[in-house]
A and B are shown apart, each in its own frame.
Chain A
Amino acid sequence: MLNFILKRLGLALLVALTVSFISFILLFLSGDPAIALAGEGATDEDVLAIRKLYGFDRPMLMQYASWLLSALSGDFGESYYFKLPVSSLIADRLSVTMLLGLCGISFALLTAVPLGVIAAIRPNSIIDRIALFLSVAGQAMPSFWFGLILIVAFSIKLRWLPPSGTDSWRNFIMPTVVLGYYAMPAIMRLTRAGMLDVLSSDYIRTARAKGASEMRVMFKHALRNAIIPVVSLAAVQMGFMLGGSIVVESIFALHGAGYLAWESISRNDLPTVQALILIFSMFYITFTFLADVLNAWLDPRMRSS
């Protein structure tokens, strides 16, 4: 197990390094960053001075190394647009997005897994039908539309929940539901299919032949095996939620990192975009790594491969 973890950790670090290099290169993609920094109407001397000041005249690899070192210590440079350190700009935003992502994935897992399990235990029952309906509806309904419906219903008509902002936990209820509901159908269908598959397997019959109770059969013997693919899917979804919550953040005016990324792209604020891409990628790599470890714990066959 430890061997497996170390191997995966090494792999994750390698991927992280590659990704960091790619996001570093991004800065040079849209031309000379010194010219961009100097702004309109700058003289050649200004550009030269800026190039020297920011170290753009050094060899690429050197620049990457020093950029990486400062990034590791939390210094992502200065935003072209706000003229503020990127780190201070994204700190708050990131916590909003993280919170939203965690709430969203928790909501998705807490609804999808039990529904999927019950649907598999009782195929074609009422609950199975409801689960199928929810999953088809979730797949068909765009997030922004669902979000607007919720705002109309719960904020405008019923006046139960605030439509926007980040003042209290109540602001997060609707965004969580919208974001979670986006991930729910796939997780539910995978859980249901996995459970159905596992429940018809020989080792489940063995467990019953031993005299195990249905509860024990379902939760000790079946769910543990059925949940393995769900873990990987949830990790991917979680990564996706962090980067992909732009729609939800903008509907509910939650000023999160997703929204900031979108704004920064349209403002050509490369250092901010670069920092966000790097951070999102690191989260993504971390979740995948954690999912691998969790899977290896669940499925011993994975440890040896």
Chain B
Amino acid sequence: MCQSKSCQDTPILSIDNLTIDIPTSAGTLHAVRGISLDLKRGETLCIVGESGSGKSLTSLALMGLLGKRIVPRADRMEFDGIELTTASARTMRKLRGARMAMIFQEPMTSLNPAYTIGDQLMEALTLHGGSSRKKARARAIELLEKVGITAAESRLSQYPHQLSGGLRQRVMIAMALMCEPELIIADEPTTALDVTIQAQILRLLADLQREMNMAMILITHDLGVVARVADKVAVMYAGELVETGPVKEIFAAPSHPYTRGLLRCIPLPGKTKRGSVLGTIPGIVPSLVGDVEGCTFRTRCEHAAPACRGPIPLHSSPEGTHSFRCIYKPGSLQAEAALSTGTSV
């Protein structure tokens, strides 16, 4: 792999204007609209946003797993210089599992019930060639140990139904890591698990990410986790990226009213407790079927104004790292909030 400074700085993932339309009986569902993101090697991006905001679709689009019916479009969607939107099925297959891997939300159903853990782990390696069964077996044991599974060797001959949800998700993580991917996408990896296990699994993922220097996209509702593991945060609402930036800036100065609503219950960035969940905002998400115009958050936004129906400007910080989409300029809402509560920011 590359160690040089310049190589470390070029993004492993670069998305510009990703759009996902889904044909439905009621019309076209504009599920994801104009998402742009960059991710460097070794960096962790956390995507937050309520369910239905298009987080899973975005990650499946990156993996090329949307299926035949849904074709994503993008001005650019590059993984290490490979344009994914035009890549052949063969190219995608060679990337998947080998250089980019994904962990899903449902550990209970994500493993094939008919094959042993060992078979499924080893397959991840042997599929991509160049590895004997013996080597694959050794690697499987090594990774099971790495993800904290005891008696790793004897687990190889077990079947998924013999394992608990937490163990299955650990197996899924081990499987994703078999080929040492450069990018790992974890889509709400702990949502389906017991609260007590959630923290363990997330800590494990974060540790492995650091140890193996992978880029990681972590989709989670746990703001405590975001505060601890993220380098960057992307906030999605109704299929759009409403705000993105370095984790410190997002927590210290959330600019988009939606982000501010999510973080409302969080006192200070350094003091975010583990397990604190996103704040909830009253109101309903508008339908994304048919024409979608203006800011989709306006049905719930306390600052909504007539101008919110029109085109919404994108504000970027001078360095271009922090940006959000709203009719209000950066800082103006913070100032307003300060005025109304009589405190200074």
Contacts and interface: CB of A to CB of B under 8 A. Distances in A.
A216 B127 CA distance: 10
A224 to B, nearest CB: 5
Contacts of A212: 93, 97, 123, 127
Contact of B127 (A211, A299, A300): A211
Contacts of B97: 209-212
Contacts of B124: 210-211
A67 to B, nearest CB: 44
B96 A208 contact: yes
Nearest to A200: B67
Contact of A301 (B101, B123, B161, B176): B161
A265 to B, nearest CB: 44
Nearest to B105: A202
Contact of A202 (B96, B104, B116): B104
B159 interface: yes
Nearest to A211: B97
A209 B104 CA distance: 10
Interface in B86-135: 89, 93-98, 101-102, 104, 106, 109-114, 116, 123-124, 127-128
B172 interface: yes
A210 B113 contact: no
A299 B113 contact: yes
B98 A211 contact: yes
B65 A203 contact: no
B123 A210 contact: yes
Contacts of A224: 114
Contacts of A216: 127
B104 A210 contact: no
A205 interface: yes
Contacts of A221: 112
A281 to B, nearest CB: 32
A209 B101 contact: yes
A206 interface: yes
A225 interface: yes
A203 B109 contact: yes
Contacts of B127: 210-212, 216
A212 B112 CA distance: 13
Contacts of A201: 109
A211 B175 CA distance: 12
A148 interface: no
Contacts of A304: 161-162
B161 A205 contact: no
A224 B124 CA distance: 19
A203 B108 CA distance: 9
Of A205, A211, A298, A304, chain B has the most CB atoms within 10 Å of the CB of A211
Nearest to A223: B114
Contacts of A206: 104, 110-112, 172, 175
A79 to B, nearest CB: 49
B112 A225 contact: yes
A188 to B, nearest CB: 22
A207 interface: yes
B94 A211 contact: yes
A90 B275 CA distance: 75
A301 B113 contact: yes
B96 A209 contact: yes
Contacts of B116: 300
Interface in A73-109: none
Contacts of A203: 109-113
Interface string A178-221: 00000000000000000000000111011111111110100001
A211 B65 CA distance: 10
Interface in A29-79: none
A115 to B, nearest CB: 21
A212 B162 CA distance: 24
B35 interface: no
B57 interface: no
What 7 A-B pairs are tightest by C-beta distance, nearest first? A211-B97, A210-B97, A202-B109, A211-B96, A203-B112, A300-B159, A202-B110
Interface of B: 63, 65, 89, 93-98, 101-102, 104, 106, 109-114, 116, 123-124, 127-128, 159, 161-162, 172, 175-176
19 contacts: A202-B104, A202-B110, A205-B110, A208-B96, A209-B63, A209-B65, A209-B97, A209-B102, A209-B176, A210-B97, A210-B124, A211-B98, A211-B127, A211-B128, A212-B93, A214-B89, A300-B113, A301-B113, A301-B161
